[in-house]
Amino acid sequence: MDLFPYFFANIYRVTQEAVNNAIKYSEANYILVTLNHADGLLSVVIDDDCKGFDPSVLDKVTKKNSEGA
């Protein structure tokens, strides 16, 4: 089974989801998608001028997590 066509479909879907999230949540004025293929490596970069998030929330422990705590 040739997985090559599925590879491109998955790259498209992941990129589409990232762009949709930027549109939906970031309040961005622009979104730039860059594809680069070099030395057998494919790079997809989605860049925007989003509002970002508060990194201090990463230090807080939630009561509902994957460990069931």
**3-state class of 63 per DSSP?**
coil
Binned at pLDDT 50, 70 and 90, residue 5 comes out as: confident
pLDDT: which is higher, 4 or 68:
4
Binned at pLDDT 50, 70 and 90, residue 16 comes out as: very high
Token pair of 15 as six digits? 């990129």
pLDDT: which is higher, 35 or 26:
35
- pLDDT at residue 64, rounded to an integer: 65
